[in-house]
Each structure stands twice: as structure tokens, then as C-alpha cells.
Structure 1
Amino acid sequence: MSTDTITLPPAADMHVHLRDGPMMETVVPLIRHGGVNTVFVMPNLLPPITSVSSALAYHQKLTSLSPTTTFLMSLYLSPSITPSVIAEATATGIIQGVKSYPKGLTTNSDAGVVSYEAYYPVFSAMEEHGLVLNLHGESPSSPTTTILNAEETFLPTLVDLHHRFPKLRIVLEHCTTAAAVEVVKSLGPTVAATITAHHLYLTIDHWSDSPHCYCKPVAKLPSDRAALIAAATSGDPKFFLGTDSAPHPKHAKQGAEKVAAGVFTQPYAVQLVAELFDKEGKLDKLQGFVCDYGRVFYQTKDRGLEKESGEKIVLRRGGAKVLREIINGDLVVVPFRAGEETWGLEWVKA
């Protein structure tokens, strides 16, 4: 399938970082610019979102900035998350998942998980109440584990959790390896995975040369990228869009003593994916990946979670150029592929 224009329902991005304060005020209005009207929001703020009340307060702030966006909220897996908190969260209808970070591995993960065994009662409660477990699927660094094999060494943990809690919906977030793709495919229908826009483009060579391509998990080998592209364009509903769009101030990406991990794709999320799918001759698979499969897995329609917008998005080949910088006062953020051409996008009434 090849065409210069394609019309789709609004997309759903099942993994976004919207931050707080001035950064939140900068990036939240850009959600729609990327063709998205439903997002699953990460809880790794400072302090992290570990209570129902803090999740609801955060939801209110986000909604005030973009009233037409559906924000699906999550809690940060920590000792304060108990089975009773899971029941309380479910009753809100707004909190749809719990996010697990390995301790110390990525942005604001110092309060993350060391061992999953202590959380088995929480996972059992999530299974009962229908909340999704979202896994940052990497093992902490060790003498035998580095950023290059951290995802692959985590995969036995994913398999074990699925076997212990077969009815628990689990998302292995931001897959980066062929091994992860194969494991997700091998497990039951309650296990799915998100794939980012930037991992469809990047390999290890890109982030070794550019801090704006550096994220965790890091991009891997060309063979891993090929496996991600094959999964994303396959029409397999186990794989759907979760951009892991993670904005950082320009000064934290360039010239900082320690480079911040995160790639900012949100303003061009669907456009970037469309460009890649077009190059692969798979535009007929685009709607499933960016619009449909994530919603089905999160049961947004069955649970009445989304606002009805009565809108569609229209994509046009080569119709836009990625901004070099996004500036809000003293805050400067550099988007992925800054200055390069990509597909254009506009919203229309259905």
C-alpha cells in the first residue's frame, strides 16, 4: 500500500512521560500535534506517584492543560502499593495500571524494584481487579549485565510472572531486542509489548554519536531493529505504539556531566511511525499499530475510558519538518530527528 494521504482515527500512545512543572506545561499541549488523543501516563515524577490521591491530582493538572485528551494514569510500584491500594485505584476508573521500574536503572527510578516476590499479593490483586502491570523490562547492572544485555537477561522474569499470574495483563514496555519480541510472541494473550517510534529508527551507532538518541533501554543491533520493524508492521495485536517519549531540557542532553536518558518524539509520534511503515510498504498495518491494538489490550472501549472526539487525523507524506527546538521561556527541548522532514498531520472532523 502506498499513498500520499492517509486518514485514521486518533492514535493511542500507551507510554508517555509528561513530567511536571514547566516541562509538563510545554509538552502536554503537543500530544495532539503527534496525532494522539489517548495516552498512558508514566508515574516516575519526583516524588513518584505512589498513591491514588497523587495520581488523581496529577490527572487533574494534565486534563486542565489538554481537556480533549484522555489520560490513563498509573501508580509507581513501591512498598506503599498494597492490595487495598489496588482496589482503591480500580474504583477511580482513571488509574489503569501499575508501573515497575528496576531500581536505579533509568530516570527517577531510585525507588524502584529489587525483587518482585514481595509484590506477589499486589499482582494477585491486579489480576482480580483488571489493572495492567507495565514492566520496564531490564535487569539492574552487575558484573555480567550491562545496558546491552539488560533486557535479554530480564526476560525469564517476564516468563515467570506470566506463569504465576496468567490472567494478569502485562506489557513489556519499549522492546529493543529480537529476543524480547520472540518471548512476547510465545506467551499467552495477556502479555503484550509496546514499541517506540525511535527504536524503529535507531541502532547502537546512533546513540553512541548523539545524546539526543540516547535512552534506556538503549537501541541495540541492526538485527534487533529489523525484528522490531517486523513485529510492528506484522499486524500482530500483541505489539502496539508506546513512544516512551521522554523530554529533557537541552542542557541535560548536551554538555551535562551525565547525559539524561530519553528521546523526545511526542510532537511527531504518528508521523514518524507512518514514515517508517511507508518505507516498509506496510501503511495498511499502520492503524492497527498506532490506533487499535493498544486500545483493545487496555480495554478502553469496553471500560468506557475515552472521550468521544468526533475527529480523525489526516497524514500527508513529506508534509512537515521536525522543529529544531521547542522553546518555552528558558526551557529548551530538542525533538528526535530535529530539522528533518517527516509526514505532515492535521485534525479534521469525522
Structure 2
Amino acid sequence: MQKLTITRPDDWHLHLRDGAALKAVLPHTVRQFARAIVMPNLKPPVRSVVDAAAYRDRIIAAIPAGKQFEPLMTLYLTDNTSPADIIAAKASQFVKAVKYYPAGATTNSDFGVTDIRKCDPVFKAMEQVDMPLLLHGEVADRDVDMFDREKVFIEKQLLPLKQRFPNLRVVLEHITTSDAVQFVLAAHNIAATITPQHLLFNRNSLFKGGIRPHFYCLPILKREEHRQALLQAAISGNPKFFLGTDSAPHSRDSKENSCGCAGCYSALHAMELYAEVFEHADALDKLEAFASFYGPDFYQLPRNTEQITLAKTTWRIPDEVPFTESGLVPLRAGQEMTWQMA
């Protein structure tokens, strides 16, 4: 196959940052995606409808001239979020979900939830108005092994949560383990996003020839058996699994230092990466539904009508792209790709 034309996809998990960083990275997403669920973990975080409206305005102002893009906003769940915040979010029509971060688990998560049961009144309101809950599905306990944090979260927090609120719509974001795949398959009203890095790489990539900071993300890359489970889920044609890049821009100097940030930047070439994954699995016929249909269906939004075309051609991923105080290194920088958006 030399060309692949599919319905324009959406990104159901995206970090855009703000200010100069937002202006630098947004064009990469707009080139490929019609819509994106925008993460709220700014400093300070997006905690109210007022915050979300202001952030949405800044995103819209940064869209390149002549391009169309719809940011789908989220609220950052805290110990102090109230049911009234959920009612206001639903009424706004532009806030599409609420994001849960365990306090201290990942980038800018210091405002996150200290005990998930504290949020039960909020979850009840979300269930009543049918507002999706997006989960960073890890525990942040220091006594839990880094590679087990997702599995322990599912066992100790997610399973009881779904028992308390069976009709709450949940997205378990950026899943990384076979445990997550099995849970999503078995549970009611739950879906999952899968990133390109977790489909392409296992944890060996973090240590190949030395420490590789640009492969460091949270949740961290796992064993090959887990990568294979994610791959089978992505190409399965099951509508519970859909595209979410978790593209997270960090400057080169914030990644390449003694305490580097977690996050992989894939917005530059996300669809090319996914196309490579699906082609290698002999499943290109399943890419369109994974990228363009299952996400909007779960979020109860219309599917896009425009199309994009990917062409079979060889090109080299740049070593870095312009960013803020230093360059931004994309995932697999310097390597060759075999698909490119026309």
C-alpha cells in the first residue's frame, strides 16, 4: 500500500502547555487532528469552568491562520472540587471531562487528589450528568515499585471505584500493562487510550547504550509482554481502545539533566508513528477506527467528515524542533520514518 486515506483523527490525550510553548507545539497537532482532549495540568491548574474558558481562548488564539481545530477542555480534579463544579462544567458544553491525577504522580500533579474516596460526591455528580472521568491510573505510594504502579492502582483504587459508581464513564489513560487491557475488556463503561511510545517500545529502550531521557514517560515503559498486549488491544477492532498520544512537550534542557522531566513528544509525527505500528502488525485496515471513530463514539461526539492521507515515503525525524528556551526533541529523533502525511 502506497497511500492510506482515513477520516481525520482526534487526539484524546494531549498536553499543550501555555504561552510560548503552546504557540510552538499547537501547529503540529492541528496539522493532523481535528480535535483534542487538552490536559489541565498547567501551573496553576485548570480547576474551574472560568479557568477552562480562558485557557480555551488562548488555545484558539494560537491556531495557525486558516486552520480548523477544536480544543476539548478538561477540569483538574482536586480534593476541593465540588459537585457544583461538575454541574457548571456540564452546562458549559466545552468542558468534556474531568482529569484525576494522584498527588505527586507526574508532571504538575502537586495539586492532585490525596485520597480518591474524598472525591466520591464529585463522582456521584459526574455519574448523574454523564461526565467522563479521565484517570492517570497509577498509585504514587513510595513503597510501590515504579513498574507496578498501574497494576496496584487498578486493584486497590479503580476496581472499588467502579463498584461504587458502575455507571460512571471512565477513560483509563495511556495504559501500559496487560493488567489494564484485561480490566478494560471486563469492565462496564470504561475505555482506554494508548500512546505511540507504549506501542513501539518496551523498557529496554530506556537503557539502550545508557540512560535515554527522551524515552522516559509516566507511566513508564514496561516489559515486552505488556507492549504486545497493548498492540493486540489497539489492532483488535474493539471500540474500548482508541488513540491518545499523551504528547508532552519538555525542552531539551529539562529532559537532559540530573532530574529530567517525564514525557515523550509525539505531536509532530503522531499519525506516522501509529501508521508504522499498525503496518508492522499487518493491521492498517484497523487504523481508521482506532484513530478516528472509537474516541468520538465514547465521548458521544460526531465523527469527523474530513480526511487525511498518509503516503509511503521515507523521511528523517528532525533532531529537534524550535521550542522555548531550548529545543524540543521529538520521539525517535534522528531516525527514519516510512509514512508521512501528504
Report the TM range for the smaller structure's normalisation. Answer: over 0.9
Partners of 2:60 and 2:14 in 1: CA distance:
15
- 1:316 alignment partner in structure 2: 311
CA contact (8 A) 1:185 1:238 kept: yes
| TM-score, normalised via structure 1 length | 0.93
Shifted more, 76-85 versus 284-293: the winner is 76-85
1:203-233 deviation line (CA, Å, top 9, x unaligned): 1111233100000000100000000000001
- 1:279 corresponds in structure 2 to 280
Equivalent positions of 1:131-170 (< 5 A) are: 131-143=131-143, 145-156=144-155, 157-170=157-170
SS at match of 1:63: helix
Residue 7 of structure 2 contacts residue 292 of structure 2 at CA under 8 Å; is this kept in 1? yes
Query: Are 1:277 and 1:286, in contact at CA under 8 Å, matched by a contact in 2?
Result: yes
Give 1:58's aligned residue: 55
Q: Is the 8 A contact 1:50 1:80 kept in 2?
A: no
Structure 1 partner of 2:197: 198
Tell me how far apart the structure 2 counterparts of residues 131 and 78 of structure 1 sit (CA, whole Å).
16
Give CA-to-partner distance per residue, 1:51-85, whole Å, 9 cap, x none. Answer: 11011000011111126111110000013321111
Residue 249 of structure 1 corresponds to 251
Query: Which letter maps to 1:162?
Result: K
> Percent identity, aligned pairs only?
40
CA contact (8 A) 1:215 1:262 kept: yes
Residue equivalent to 1:326: 321
> Structure 1 residues 336, 134: CA separation in 2 closer, same or farther (over 3 Å shift)?
same
Q: How does 1:12-161 map to 2 (within 5 A)?
A: 12-33=10-31, 35-66=32-63, 68-143=68-143, 145-156=144-155, 157-161=157-161
What is the letter of the counterpart of residue 31 of structure 1?
T
Report how far residue 39 of structure 1 moved. Answer: 0.3
CA deviation vs aligned residue, 1:11-69 (integer Å, no higher than 9, x gap): 11100000011111101111133x21110000000001111101100001111112611
SS of the residue 1:43 aligns to:
coil
SS at match of 2:246: coil
Provide Cα deviations, 1:136-171, integer angstroms capped at 9, x if missing partner: 00011332x121100000012212211211111100
Unaligned runs of 5+ in 2: none
| Kept after mapping to 1: 8 A contact 2:100/2:112 | yes
Letter in 2 for 1:23: A
Superposition TM-score, scaled by structure 2 size: 0.95
Give the aligned partner of residue 174 of structure 2. Answer: 174
Is 1:227 the counterpart of 2:229 in the alignment?
yes
> Which residue type is aligned with residue 310 of structure 2?
L
Asked whether the equivalents of residues 10 and 313 of structure 1 are also in contact (C-alpha less than 8 Å), the reply is yes
**SS state at 1:333 partner:** coil
Residue 328 of structure 1 and its aligned partner are, at CA, apart by 4.1
Whether contact under 8 Å (1:233, 1:286) holds in the other structure is yes
Unaligned runs of 5+ in 1: none
The SS at the match of 2:68 is coil
- Equivalent residues, number: 334
Contact 2:20 2:324 in 1 (8 A): no
Is residue 2:9 matched to residue 1:11?
Answer: yes
> In structure 2, what is the equivalent of residue 290 of structure 1?
291
Calculate the aligned-residue CA RMSD, in Å: 1.3
What are the Cα deviations for residues 225-252 of structure 1, in whole angstroms up to 9, with x where unaligned? 0000000010011100111100100001
**Residue aligned with 2:44, SS:** coil
